[in-house]
C-alpha cells in the first residue's frame, strides 16, 4: 500500500496553489483531508507527481451564516459541521448528513470541499447540495466563477471544475420547513446503497414545495425535479409519496456492484425515499 | 530518492527531526522509524482504526496520512496515554472489565476512547458505540469494550467531582 513518489507542496495562500496548478498541469492535484485521495494513491489508481496540500490556506476555512445564507469553506470538515451549533439550528440537514458519513476518525479529516469536488457518486454531500440548490464557488487562473450544484456533476469523477481550478466554498439559502437525510448502508462507515435528501415546505396543511435528491444510484447524484413536484399541493399522503417514489425511480440509473443487483437498489431507493419524505413531512 | 523532506514531528511530547519521503505513511514513521509500536496496522485501508493516534487534537487513522501532511504536528499515541507502571484509567478499566482478548485493537481503541471522553465526558452507551464506530475488534464482540469505556467515564467524572 505504498503510493508512487511525489513532490509535496504546502502553499500558504490560494495564489500559490493556483500557480502550482498552472506550473504542473495534469501532474498536480490538491489534497484536502486526503480520505478519498490517499486510498486511491495507495491503490495506485491515482498518480499525483505534485501533491498540493491545502491545509495552510486559511481563507478556505470557516462557516459563515448571515440570516439564512450559509457559506461553508472548502476545508470545513464533517466534524466541524457536526460541532457547529448555529449551523445545526439554521441548516440541521447538514449535521444529519455528516453524522451518516464514515466514522469519527474519517469525519475529523474529510472536508466538505473534498466531498463535493471529488465526483465519486458514493459521496453524500453532492446529493445534499443538489437538494439545497447550493452554489459551488471556484477560483482559477481567470478569476472566480459559480456553478449550481445541480449542474456540477457530469459523470463519475467528471465535474464542471477545470483542472486548474480550486473549489473555495459552497453556499446556499437554508430552507425553512422539514428535512431529512436517510441512508441505507451495509454497515456503519460504509458508502450508501441508497440515500435520499429531502426538504419540504408546508403551507395550509399541504406541501408548498419539496426538493428531492438521491445518492449513489447513478454515476452522478440525481436531483429529481419530478419527484419533488409529485408531492407539491398534496397532503403528503401515501398516494403522493408513491407517486414521488415512482418519479424518482424514473430518474435514477443504478448499476450492479457489491452493494447488490439493480432490482435490489431500486427497491432500497424506494424505501429510503419513503422514509425520508415521511420524516421531512413530520418535521415540516 | 531526491525528494526527501525535512520533517519535524512531536510524538508524546518528544520532538523528532528527520528526512523522509513525503509519501511515507505516518503509521510507518511511528512504528518503523521511531520504534513507537503501540499503534498497529490492521487493514492499511482506513477501515479498522487499529492505527488511531491523536494528531493536533483529532482522532486520526495514521495509515491514512502522509508524513508530509503531518509535518509540524503534535501526535499522541497509546505510549503517551499511559505506561505499564502508570496505567491510564481507561487502560485499568479495559483490564478490569475484560475489554480486550487478543489486544490487537486495544491501543487504537483506548487512544480513540480517550479523545471521545474529552469530546463527551459523560456519554450514553449509544454515544460510546457511535463514537467508537471507526474502531473494529474481531474478538470481544464490543460488549466489554463499551462497558470498559463507560466505567472509565464514571471513574474519571467521580475523580473530577472529588477534586472540586
Ligand atoms: C473508511 C472511509 C469511509 C468513508 N465513508 C464515506 C461515506 O459514507 N460518505 C461520504 O460521502 N464519504 C465517505 N468517505 C470519504 C470521506 O468523506 C472523504 O474524506 C471525502 O469524500 C473527501 O474529502 P477529503 O477532504 O478527504 O478530500 P481529498 O481526499 O483530499 O480529495 C478528494 C478529491 O477532491 C479533490 N479536492 C479536494 N479538495 C478540493 C478543493 N478544495 N478544490 C478542488 N479539488 C479538491 C482532490 O484533488 C481529490 O481529487 C469515506 C472515507 C473513508 C476512508
Ligand atoms: S490500519 Fe489504519 S485504519 Fe486499519
Ligand atoms: S481484542 Fe482482539 S481484535 Fe479486539
User: Do both B9 and B75 map to the same domain?
Assistant: yes
Residues of A in contact with B21 (CB under 8 A): 5
Is B17 buried (19+), middle (13-18) or exposed (0-12) by CB count in 10 A? Answer: exposed
User: Do both B76 and B101 map to the same domain?
Assistant: no
Query: Is A179-283 a CATH 3.30.1180.10 domain?
Result: no
**Does the pLDDT at position B3 exceed 90?**
no
B31 touches chain A (CB under 8 A): no
| Res A1: pLDDT | 81
Tell me, yes or no, if the two domains A7-53 and A179-283 fold the same way: no
Q: Rounded distance, CA A72 to CA A77, Å?
A: 10
In contact, B110 and B90? CB cutoff 8 Å = yes
B1 touches chain A (CB under 8 A): yes
SS3 labels along A216-239: CCCCCCEECHHHHHHHCCCCCCHH
How would you classify the pairing of strands A7-9 and A28-31? unpaired
Cβ B64–A39 below 8 Å, yes or no?
yes
> In the predicted model, what is the mean pLDDT of residues B153-164?
94
**Does the pLDDT at position B2 exceed 70?**
no
Running along chain A, 284 residues long, what does each successive block of 10 average in pLDDT?
Answer: 94 98 97 98 96 98 97 98 98 98 98 97 98 98 97 98 97 97 94 98 98 98 98 98 98 97 98 98 98
Domain parsing of chain A, residue ranges: 7-53, 58-171, 179-283
Which residue has better confidence, A110 or B1?
A110
DSSP letter, residue B74: E
| Res B1: pLDDT | 46
**Does the pLDDT at position B114 exceed 50?**
yes
> In the predicted model, what is the mean pLDDT of residues B30-34?
98
CATH class of the structural domain A7-53: alpha beta
User: Do both B64 and B15 map to the same domain?
Assistant: yes
- B63 CA from centroid of ligand 2 (Å): 5
Cβ A109–B60 below 8 Å, yes or no?
yes
Complex prediction ipTM: 0.96
Residues of B in contact with A2 (CB under 8 A): 23, 25
| Straight-line distance from the first to the last Cα atom of chain A, in angstroms, rounded to the nearest whole number | 48
- B29 CA from centroid of ligand 2 (Å): 14
Q: Kindly report the CATH number that applies to the domain delimited by A58-171.
A: 3.30.465.10
User: Do both B65 and B93 map to the same domain?
Assistant: no
Q: Report CA torsion sign: A20, A26, A27, A31.
A: positive
User: Do both B62 and B109 map to the same domain?
Assistant: no
User: Do both B28 and B46 map to the same domain?
Assistant: yes
Instruction: Please state the atom number of ligand 1 nearest to the C-alpha of residue A103.
Output: 3
Residues of A in contact with B134 (CB under 8 A): 102-106, 189
Cβ B3–A5 below 8 Å, yes or no?
yes
Cβ B45–A39 below 8 Å, yes or no?
yes
Q: Which residue range forms the structural domain that includes residue B57?
A: 5-80
Domain containing residue B159: CATH number = 1.10.150.120
pTM of the model: 0.97
User: Do both B94 and B76 map to the same domain?
Assistant: no
User: Do both B71 and B96 map to the same domain?
Assistant: no
H-helix or E-strand containing A185?
A: strand A178-185
Amino acid at each position: 500500500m505504498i503510493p508512487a513518489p511525489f513532490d509535496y507542496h504546502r502553499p500558504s495562500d490560494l495564489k500559490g496553489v493556483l500557480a502550482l496548478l498552472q506550473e504542473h498541469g495534469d501532474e498536480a492535484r490538491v489534497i484536502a483531508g486526503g480520505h478519498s485521495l490517499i486510498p486511491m494513491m495507495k491503490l495506485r489508481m491515482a498518480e499525483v507527481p505534485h501533491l498540493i496540500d491545502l491545509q495552510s490556506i486559511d481563507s478556505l476555512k470557516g462557516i459563515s451564516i448571515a440570516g439564512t445564507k450559509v457559506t461553508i469553506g472548502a476545508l470545513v470538515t464533517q466534524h466541524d459541521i457536526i460541532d457547529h451549533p448555529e449551523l445545526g439550528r439554521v441548516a440541521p440537514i447538514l449535521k444529519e448528513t455528516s453524522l451518516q458519513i464514515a466514522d469519527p476518525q474519517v469525519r475529523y479529516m474529510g472536508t466538505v470541499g473534498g466531498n463535493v469536488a471529488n465526483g465519486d457518486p458514493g459521496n453524500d454531500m453532492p446529493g445534499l447540495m443538489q437538494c439545497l440548490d447550493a452554489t459551488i464557488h471556484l477560483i482559477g487562473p481567470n478569476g472566480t466563477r459559480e456553478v449550481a450544484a445541480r449542474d456540477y456533476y457530469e459523470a463519475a469523477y467528471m465535474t464542471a471544475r477545470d483542472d486548474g481550478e480550486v473549489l473555495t466554498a459552497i453556499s446556499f439559502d437554508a430552507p425553512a420547513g422539514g428535512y431529512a437525510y436517510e441512508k441505507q448502508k451495509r454497515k456503519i462507515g460504509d458508502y450508501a446503497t441508497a440515500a435520499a435528501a429531502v426538504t419540504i415546505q408546508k403551507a395550509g396543511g399541504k406541501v408548498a414545495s419539496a426538493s428531492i435528491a438521491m445518492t449513489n444510484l447513478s454515476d452522478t447524484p440525481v436531483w429529481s425535479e419530478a419527484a419533488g413536484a409529485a408531492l407539491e399541493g398534496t397532503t403528503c399522503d401515501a398516494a403522493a409519496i408513491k407517486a414521488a417514489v415512482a418519479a424518482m425511480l424514473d430518474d435514477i440509473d443504478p448499476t450492479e456492484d457489491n452493494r447488490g443487483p439493480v432490482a435490489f437498489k431500486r427497491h432500497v431507493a424506494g424505501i429510503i425515499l419513503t422514509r425520508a419524505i415521511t420524516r421531512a413531512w413530520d418535521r415540516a | 530518492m531526491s525528494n526527501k523532506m525535512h520533517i519535524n514531528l512531536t510524538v508524546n511530547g518528544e520532538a523528532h527531526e528527520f528526512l523522509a519521503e513525503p509519501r511515507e505513511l505516518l503509521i510507518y514513521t511511528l512504528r518503523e522509524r521511531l520504534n513507537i509500536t503501540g499503534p498497529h496496522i490492521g487493514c492499511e485501508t482506513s477501515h479498522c482504526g487499529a492505527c488511531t493516534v491523536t494528531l493536533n487534537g483529532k482522532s486520526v487513522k495514521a495509515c491514512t496520512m502522509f508524513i508530509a501532511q503531518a509535518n509540524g504536528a503534535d501526535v499522541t499515541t497509546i505510549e503517551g496515554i499511559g505506561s505499564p507502571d502508570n496505567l491510564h484509567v481507561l487502560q485499568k478499566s479495559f483490564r478490569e472489565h475484560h475489554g480486550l482478548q487478543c489486544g490487537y485493537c486495544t491501543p487504537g481503541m483506548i487512544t480513540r476512547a480517550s479523545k471521545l471522553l474529552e469530546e463527551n465526558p459523560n456519554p450514553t452507551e449509544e454515544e460510546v458505540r457511535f463514537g467508537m464506530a471507526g474502531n473494529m475488534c474481531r474478538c470481544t464482540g464490543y460488549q466489554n469494550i463499551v462497558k470498559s469505556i463507560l466505567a472509565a467515564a464514571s471513574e474519571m467524572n467521580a475523580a473530577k467531582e472529588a477534586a472540586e
